[in-house]
A = this chain, B = another copy of it.
Amino acid sequence: MASSEQIILIGAGNVGFHMGQALTKAGLKIHQVFSRSETKALRLASTINCSYSTSFEQISDEASVYILAVTDQAIPKVAKALASRLKGKKPLVVHTSGATPATVLEPCFERYGVFYPLQTFSVEQPVDFQKIPLLVFANRSADLEWLQQAGALITPLIYHIDDQQRKVLHIAAVMVNNFTNLLYSQAERLSKQHDFPFELLQPLIRETVQKIERHSPADMQTGPAIRGDEATINSHLDFLEKNYPDLKELYQLMTQLIRDTKN
């Protein structure tokens, strides 16, 4: 049973904090929390009522699952430090990163994997894990099964995704999250400089997203680019060239990409 394993959570930042809470709420046993920051370690440990440590020497080597919820950059170093602490033991070690292949753990551990919740987190905002897809992977099928079972306790949205797929998925996530947010913030900039409220655009933004919950976005493309409305496109480009040269290139490139989808 998934809930009989002893788990140690390494990292108590945005992801670690919410994952620790979700796992505990689901009945899984977090044995210990590790963070170099005592404030963060204590904040999480006190919330989920477990012990914590701030140095690797104090990390228990008795657990059966170690979850590395640390930054992408820190994963190799933390893995190494953990491996030397676990000498001889063979627990399952997973990281929670979308940008890092599972194989980064291979040199350190016999049993490794990924337990990656696809969402943006911040400690201040409550999270409903039931709505967050969890992308799991393990190099051994029994471990994959355990990750799927444990994951199923916190969300119904479990996907088995390998390193290559997760990389592409991360690029897609950057596009639909980071890049769309940039478009929103540029639209906000235009609204501020021309004295209309940004919230005027909110219904359109909402509708754009609601449409693609029912239809393929490829079928939902509207606007001057797909219509081939050169007069509007040229008038927009003229305006951007004079007033927002940094946005002109973006407008041109996006317009071209939309045109290309027509063919």
Choice from B159, B193, B211, B232 contacting A200 with Cβ under 8 Å = B159
Asked if A181 is an interface residue, CB under 8 A from chain B, the answer is: yes
Asked if A167 is an interface residue, CB under 8 A from chain B, the answer is: yes
Which of A4-12, A57-65, A140-148, A217-225 binds B? A217-225
How many A residues touch B, CB cutoff 8 Å?
Answer: 86
Cβ of A4 to closest chain B Cβ, rounded Å: 29
Q: B-facing mask of A76-117, CB < 8 A → 1, else 0?
A: 000000000000000000000001000000000000000000
* Given A181-B220, A190-B171, A254-B182: A176 and B203 interface contact (C-beta under 8 Å): no
For A173, the closest partner residue in chain B by CB is: B204
- Say what secondary structure dominates the interface of chain A: helix
Q: Which residues of B contact A135 (CB under 8 A)?
A: 200
Asked if A123 is an interface residue, CB under 8 A from chain B, the answer is: no
Query: A185 to B218, Cβ gap below 8 A?
Result: yes
Query: A185 to B72, Cβ gap below 8 A?
Result: no
* Given A179-B183, A217-B184, A218-B185: A194 and B168 interface contact (C-beta under 8 Å): yes
Q: Which residues of B contact A184 (CB under 8 A)?
A: 176, 212, 217
Report the bound CA distance from A181 to B220 in whole Å.
8
Query: A188 to B217, Cβ gap below 8 A?
Result: yes
Report the bound CA distance from A73 to B227 in whole Å.
12
Choice from B133, B193, B201, B258 contacting A173 with Cβ under 8 Å = B201
For A98, the closest partner residue in chain B by CB is: B232
Q: Which residues of B contact A202 (CB under 8 A)?
A: 212-213
* Given A182-B254, A204-B118: A246 and B217 interface contact (C-beta under 8 Å): no
Nearest 8 interchain pairs by C-beta: A178-B223, A184-B217, A172-B187, A185-B217, A185-B218, A168-B194, A180-B180, A179-B254
Listed A/B pairs (20) with beta-carbon separation below 8 Å: A99-B232, A118-B201, A118-B203, A133-B203, A159-B196, A161-B196, A169-B190, A169-B191, A173-B201, A177-B222, A178-B225, A178-B254, A178-B258, A181-B212, A185-B220, A185-B221, A185-B261, A189-B218, A198-B216, A249-B253
| A-B contacts besides A119-B204, A205-B212, 9 pairs, CB < 8 Å | A99-B235, A170-B236, A176-B208, A177-B207, A181-B220, A185-B217, A186-B257, A189-B218, A202-B212
